[in-house]
Structure 1
Amino acid sequence: MGAPSRPPANGFVAAARKVYNPVGFSKGYNFVLWFIFAGALFGFILARLQYLNFYGVYCNPNSRDGALPGECYYYTKFDRYKVGIILHLACILPAGLLAILQFTPYIRYKAIMAHRVGGWLAILLSVTGIAGALMIARRSFGGGIEAQTVTGVLAIVFLGSLLLAVINIKKLQIEEHRKWMLRAWFYAGCIITMRLILVITNTITASSGYQATMPCAKIDFILNSEEELLLSYPACAPFVNGTNLDQYTIIEANFNGKDAAQIAAAVNITAGMALWLAFIIHAVGVEIYIHLTPAEHSRLRAISYQRQLAAGKRNPGSAGLTADRLGDSDGLWTPREERAKGEGADISKDSLQTPSP
């Protein structure tokens, strides 16, 4: 486990190996990538574990670390959205922590049973957490069509990747299991990049004159003052006097605005775009990473071949959902040793043939 294949090139590499070898890594660049991406996910989750204190932190009007202004209007007044957000937070945060452990080589090598149990638990929590996310999609980040669409797409590709990962590991196709699990959690991680894009976008467009519509009831919840509501948004008078409780008004979308409602409007109109862009970045990034680690893919496929052969699977090495079974490959995958033997036999056969005059 984590044994280096050659001596360290210098003192720095020798010192670094003392850090990443015990975690299960044999190559420094793999450890660096794991540290960056798993570390970002770990920090993001830790910062949001406090949200499990729903009324004390997440929907506490006096808390500066809670939900986006106005979102708790729906989460506290409508049972469907309240159940959805609690289900989402209570399931997806622990699932993310388990995923970090699943990608730690030491766990896979030295605690295989913990890896299996943790994997199934992470999948169960993920499915439940995504169900919660879909329940609140209509209201989360403003609930615009673009935000709902990307939420649905993310749910499909995330759960679809988990399903393909499960199918492949049941077929003992370890390298494909690895790829689909990487894809699943890279897709899920785009929610972190989305936050960075939101901050950059809203900083740039803070005074660009963008506007949005917002229910007066939501603005009233944010401002918590009918007097201030009427003063700042006189179009909400029908809501205040009770003649139209569904009244909407136009509001400036300004991240540096005069009140929290304008900040909420700014985030709402950019959230869908930010999530789409983050998803594209992560979808491309994970494919680049997979294509830059062919040695690990080959190593795991050789292990898959051995285990499938021992289990009596048909087409060992390609028993799972592999490209050579589903695509236009010349033939099914075979181990390097067998290919070498086959090539050697062909050469010997050709050498025995008498050349034609």
Structure 2
Amino acid sequence: MALKISHNVWWRKAYQAAGFRKGYNFPLFIIFAGSMLGFSLARISYLNIGGNASSSYKKGAAPGEWYWYREGLARVGISIHLGCIIPAGVLMVWQFVPVIRHKFILLHRINGYIVIVLVMISNTGAFLIIRRSFGGTLPTQAAMGLLIILSTISIAMAYYNIKRLQIEQHRAWMLRAMFYLGVIITTRIIMVIAAQVSTAVGKYYVPMICDEIVFVQDSLTQNNTMYPQCSIANMSVDGMIAVAANFGSDRKEQLQASLELNFGMAAWLSIFLHTIGVEIYLNLTPAEGERLRRVSYAKQLEAGMRNPGSAGLTVDRWGDADEWIVPAEDT
């Protein structure tokens, strides 16, 4: 009994030290913010985009990606995207630490502006590379395009609401933005699992151009031996041939094919999971939303805004909902 009490006291001290009011928020923060921070830190070496170090993006990216990104507009796009989104991933998690928001308000604001700018610029870079990202299939392009739209709108909504001192809406939209940006982490997990499953099932093929296969293998002789169609005139379709999707193969183009085959599906499934997940969380924490709305009311009233409590983008002003009533103790 004493051990249980001691454990509860330790746990309460731990999450309260970080500024969390509820015990359930702390493990959720560790899981989701920790994943974002860990993933971003693990990708810092990718800021060395075209270097020959083993940790650079050129060497560490999925096979075939560098073929498309090594020059031209795609090179500009990947440089912009990685150069902005990796630092943004490291910085954004600190926006959700309550003790920073409460005791270091200026730091919270400055960091928030930096994150917003970095994400917006990174989305521009992402737009430039989606045509070639993991094969650039239409499902992949649509999924990546949707992510750009979702994250951009969420951050814009969060920014507008905080400028209107609508804090509970700012919280909701920033949470959505972070969950949307975290889709890429879940996508990679699902993609690897699905690649192994599709390899076990077998008989999956992906169209790939001969020049890309030669680039990946770095051997014209091996390519002509494995894919003689590439060396014989009129034996390929627009220079493309079918490559077996095999995640366990020692041939890089087959590994690449298995990733390209599953990336689009993994991205759509991840978008679904993250979208549903964040909305479930927001709907399960109405008390926190109501508490912050009271704070919004007080700040908006002090600032002399019209419709205090609903000066931002709230559902009672812009949707079909009952008008928000100021609690008696706040009047």
Q: TM-score, normalised by structure 2?
A: 0.94
2:144 aligned residue: 151
Note if 1:186 corresponds to 2:184: no
Deviations 1:235-268, CA, capped at 9 Å, x for gaps? 11158x9x99961111111111240100101111
Secondary structure at 1:21 match in 2? helix
**Equivalent of residue 327 in structure 1, options 310, 315, 319:** 319
Partner of 2:125: 132
In structure 2, the residue matched to 1:236 is: 230
Contact kept, 8 Å, 1:238 with 1:245, in 2: the verdict is: no
SS at match of 1:37: helix
The total of aligned residue pairs comes to 324
Q: Is the 2:47–2:57 Cα contact (8 Å) retained in structure 1? A: no
SS at match of 1:26: coil
Q: Give the C-alpha shift of residue 58 in structure 1.
A: 3.0
Which residue of structure 2 aligns with residue 48 of structure 1? 43
Q: Match of 1:212, SS?
A: strand
Listed as ranges, the matches of 1:12-91 within 5 Å are 12-54=7-49, 55=51, 56=53, 57-60=55-58, 63=59, 66-76=60-70, 78-91=71-84
Kindly indicate whether the alpha-carbon contact (under 8 Å) linking 2:78 and 2:126 is maintained by their aligned counterparts in 1. yes
Instruction: State the Cα RMSD in Å.
Output: 1.9
* Structural mapping, 1:202-351, within 5 Å: 202-207=195-200, 208-238=202-232, 247-331=239-323, 333-337=324-328
User: Any stretches of 5+ residues in structure 1 without a counterpart?
Assistant: 1-8, 342-357
Of 88, 93, 99, the match for 1:100: 93
Q: Is the 8 A contact 2:80 2:122 kept in 1?
A: yes
> 1:269 deviation in Å?
1.4
The letter for the 1-side match of 2:186 is T
Amino acid at match of 1:148: Q
- 3-state SS of paired residue (1:235): helix
d(CA) in 1 for partners of 2:98 and 2:19? Answer: 5
Letter of the 1:20 partner, please give it.
Y
Query: SS in structure 2 opposite 1:10?
Result: helix
Radius of gyration: which is bigger?
Answer: 1
Q: What TM-score, normalized by structure 1, do the two folds share? A: 0.87
Report if aligned partners of 2:45, 2:57 keep a CA contact under 8 Å in 1. Answer: no
Within 1, Cα distance between the matches of 2:232 and 2:203? Answer: 26
4+ residue stretches of structure 1 with deviation over 4 A? 243-246
* Aligned equivalents of 1:330, 1:26: Cα separation in 2: 28
Question: How far is the alpha carbon of 1:196 from its aligned partner?
Answer: 1.1
Letter in 1 for 2:61: A
Structure 2 residues not aligned, in runs of 5+: none
- Deviations 1:20-46, CA, capped at 9 Å, x for gaps: 222111221111111110011111111
**Shift in Å, 1:330:** 3.0
1:191-230 C-alpha deviation (Å, 9 max, x unpaired) = 1111111111111110421001101111001100010000
